[in-house]
Structure 1
Amino acid sequence: MVVEETQRGRVERVRRRGQVLRRRLSGAAQGVTAQAAERTDGLRSRWGAATAVVSAAAWVLAGAAVVAFLVGWTAGWVELVAVALFIAVLLLVGLPFVLGSHQLESELDLSRDRVVVGERAHGALVLTNTSGRRLLPSVVDLPVGHGRASFELPSLPTGGRHEELFAIPTARRAVLDVGPVTSVRADPLSLLRREQDLTEQELLYVHPRTVRVEGSAAGLIRDLEGNSVRKLTESDVAFHALRDYVPGDDRRHIHWKTSARSGRLMVRQFEETRRSHLLILLSSRVDDYAVDDEFELAISIAGSLGIKVLADGQTLSALTSGQTLRARTSRQMLDQLSGVDYARSADRLSEVSRALSPEHAAASVAVMLGGSLTEVAEFRRARRHLPSDMRVLAIRCVSGGESVVKTMGDLTIVSIADLEELSSLLRRASL
């Protein structure tokens, strides 16, 4: 028995020593790896900078030159060796065009960083030669969204300035990345190309088109403002009844006369009054819209209603099928709508309404927005998930269809084909 315990102790000590040795070896290996990475950082960064100037075509040509030289040298085929040498000369001749760096100072100035779709965003690009020598003619690129504009930069003396004016057309609502302004050095065949960023990237918001909505959201919210609902609260203006005091109640609501008569503390209880709070539910499912124009119309309607509600100092909540929009100011609302896009796997309106937070469910009016492919049954399913005391309006954006207003029980459905008809249709829906 003693021998077995001794053997077990030896085995345990050997196992522990093995674990300690493995930990030490692992730590040493990690330390060596970290030191090697630190020492080779400069080399790797220089190698990356050197290879970044080589285009894909140049790599292909370089590989072809190596193969041609080896085959030509081995087979004694002089023509292949000549081709390899010619390619090598082409690459070597291009090197002087990309060596060095442009000492340029660039200023990118957008006259406005927010425009409405269809407007042009104007800007200016000012380039200054900050080097001590004359700069040769070159090219400066300005990326805009997925596109790129190129400007020919003439030869500039020391301290010379060159200004380029440009206009960005905005055919679609979007959030565009403008810049960075890039100085380009390349050989005549563009086999070698070196780019140098001169400015930071800026954002250009292309807001949706909106229209002025007359009245307090066309009367939809104004009619409910101040009406009491059958929901009890501890503080409001609509008195409901008295009840016994319980620890934690606000003593400011104690009714002292009744308390003196009854011999026990009594507090006031109130009915909650309706606050002006508009909830916008915007479907971003691609299957709900027949054409893109319907989706753009829905976004324009959401923006028009949001601007009106915020201008009246009322509360606004806005949700799409996939996100909650920040809508504390009109600018923030429109900025958010500029970036809204289709979501193929997004929730239906009924699923969005079912998952509302208590804050959103407390809205007085809800407006649901969809396209011509959004079925009426889907609007009704979404309505069933909303509070019964909430007024609900469903708006179907129909391209080339007829604008009509229908009421189906506690749900009003508006079909709209033109944004200019929004005010008149909302007035009819509020009657």
Structure 2
Amino acid sequence: MTERSAPQAAAERRRDRVDAVARAGLGVARSVIAVIRPLGAVLIAASAVLWWLALAFGWIELLIATVVVTVVLALSVAFLFGRTTYDVGLDLTRTHVVVGERAIGALTLTNGTSRTILPSEVVLPVGPGRGVFQVPRLAPGAVHEELFAIPTSARGVLSVGPVSVRRGDPLGLFERTHDRRQAVELYVHPRTTSLDGLSLGHLRDLEGLPVPHLARDDVSFHALREYQPGDDLRHVHWKSTARIGAVMVRQYEQTRRSHFVVGLSTHPDEYRDAEEFELAISTAGSVGLRALRDARILDARTQHGQLRSLTARRFLDELSLLGPSRPRQGGIAALAGAVAAHAPQAAVVVLVTGSKTDAAELRLACSRLPFGVRVLAVVADTRVDAPALKGIGDADVVTLGTLEQLPRAVRKVLA
């Protein structure tokens, strides 16, 4: 058994060495192929054919042409050699911008070596595009800076980088690149608009926030005052009554429930086009930001689950990542069911959907929400010229054509 296993072990070791050599050779081949540009590949193939023809037929003219092509290839390969060890700094002044704004940045390259670095190109990918910067010859310790501006025309998250240093010949036959810096994410937030305070359906609640309105009965103690006819004797403060000699009762601040829910449908069948979907996202963002500024507990949801909305920036970052998707749960009615299941104590629910959602679907969605919740449904429809308001059961339904119509529509609801 031992004599038979030893040859097998030796054969396995030989196979492992052969595999290692093959992998190393494959890696070298890939590295060589990676530096050859299409025009370089054509000239290499042409050079091989010309050498064969010149040697086979002995044509002097053909041999001269072959030597010229070979010399051009050799000189072009020489441009690949040289140091490109820059210290690269990539700085974006803002990593969060709104659609339409420009993101300003700076690219700094420093020669931290003791030798001169020959001219080269630096490539900065930005999303699907890229910027190319020409870097001059840098002496030891020299610094070169490039300023750039990234225009933003669509909501989303752009990957800026990684920065690549590229060396190549003037003819574009060969090219060598090295990544020098990791990518930076640029969040392009949706457009939003400013809204007045969303005093929709303020309800007294044990977990609410106190407001500057005094009440005879609530859970937030404010002060003591003298008894008045009609006051509940359960709120008499007997110790103060005995000390002062007059009947004193507790006075309370009213509290209002602060749980605010924004439900944004991402089902593509509910929107006519991408513009309508962007309007819905901007609407949800505007309403959510107003709720956060009012110190509400914001719960933002889509059919795929909850969006992180602890801060305004995190909320807008989450909206930047959204895209239309076909959830298994369904459309706006399924989203309303999820809101009812995960936020049963909500005070206000704002549902946002597209123009292809009919009244029956909206009625079904509103019926799935908890009883007593104030409901506002916003329908994004880019075809309308003015906001329209109607009621479906106890819910208010607003139809918008542009984001600028949202403040006026909200004022109509609060009127």
Q: Shorter-chain TM-score: which interval?
A: 0.7 to 0.9
Alignment of 1:21-40 (within 5 A): 37=19
Whether the 8 Å CA contact 2:283–2:406 is kept in 1: the answer is: yes
What is the one-letter code of the residue matched to 1:369?
V
Q: Which of 362, 377, 394 is matched with 2:377 structurally? A: 394
Whether the 8 Å CA contact 1:225–1:276 is kept in 2: the answer is: no
Aligned residues: 365
Corresponding position of 2:412 = 428
Counterpart CA distance in 2 for 1:342 and 1:167 is 29
Counterpart CA distance in 2 for 1:173 and 1:280 is 19
Q: Which of 396, 399, 402 is matched with 1:412 structurally? A: 396
Q: Which of 318, 343, 353 is matched with 1:370 structurally? A: 353
Bigger drift between 358-367 and 84-93 goes to 84-93
Corresponding position of 1:220 = 200
Deviation track 1:137-184 (CA, whole Å, cap 9, x = no partner) reads 221111111111111212221111111111111122121111122111
- Determine if the alignment matches structure 1 residue 127 to structure 2 residue 106: no
**Structure 1 unmatched ranges of 5 or more:** 1-16, 229-236, 239-272
Whether the 8 Å CA contact 2:340–2:370 is kept in 1: the answer is: no
Deviation track 1:35-62 (CA, whole Å, cap 9, x = no partner) reads 6555666554444333321224433443
- Determine if the alignment matches structure 1 residue 384 to structure 2 residue 367: yes
Corresponding position of 1:289 = 271
- Quote the RMSD (CA, aligned, Å): 3.3
Whether the 8 Å CA contact 2:106–2:147 is kept in 1: the answer is: yes
Higher helix share: 1
Corresponding position of 1:327 = 309
* Identity across the alignment (%): 38
Counterpart CA distance in 1 for 2:274 and 2:389 is 23
Whether the 8 Å CA contact 2:332–2:365 is kept in 1: the answer is: yes
SS at match of 1:162: strand
Deviation track 1:181-224 (CA, whole Å, cap 9, x = no partner) reads 21110111212111111211111111112222211xx2125x22
Change (3 A) 1:38 1:409: same
Corresponding position of 1:358 = 341
The alpha carbon displacement at 1:339 in A equals 1.6
Q: Which of 147, 150, 154 is matched with 1:172 structurally? A: 154
Whether the 8 Å CA contact 1:127–1:162 is kept in 2: the answer is: yes
SS at match of 1:198: strand
Corresponding position of 1:249 = none
Alignment of 1:6-405 (within 5 A): 37=19, 42-66=24-48, 69-70=51-52, 87-215=69-197, 218-221=198-201, 223-226=202-205, 275-343=257-325, 347-356=330-339, 358-401=341-384, 402-405=386-389
TM-score, structure 1 normalization = 0.74
SS at match of 1:112: coil
Counterpart CA distance in 1 for 2:374 and 2:171 is 67
Counterpart CA distance in 2 for 1:396 and 1:286 is 14
What is the one-letter code of the residue matched to 2:353?
G
Counterpart CA distance in 1 for 2:181 and 2:293 is 36
Counterpart CA distance in 2 for 1:148 and 1:304 is 32
Counterpart CA distance in 2 for 1:211 and 1:30 is 69
Change (3 A) 1:326 1:32: farther
Counterpart CA distance in 1 for 2:92 and 2:348 is 39
TM-score, structure 2 normalization = 0.76
Deviation track 1:49-99 (CA, whole Å, cap 9, x = no partner) reads 333212244334434544565577667788777766555444322111112
Change (3 A) 1:384 1:86: farther
Counterpart CA distance in 2 for 1:29 and 1:430 is 84
Whether the 8 Å CA contact 2:82–2:118 is kept in 1: the answer is: no
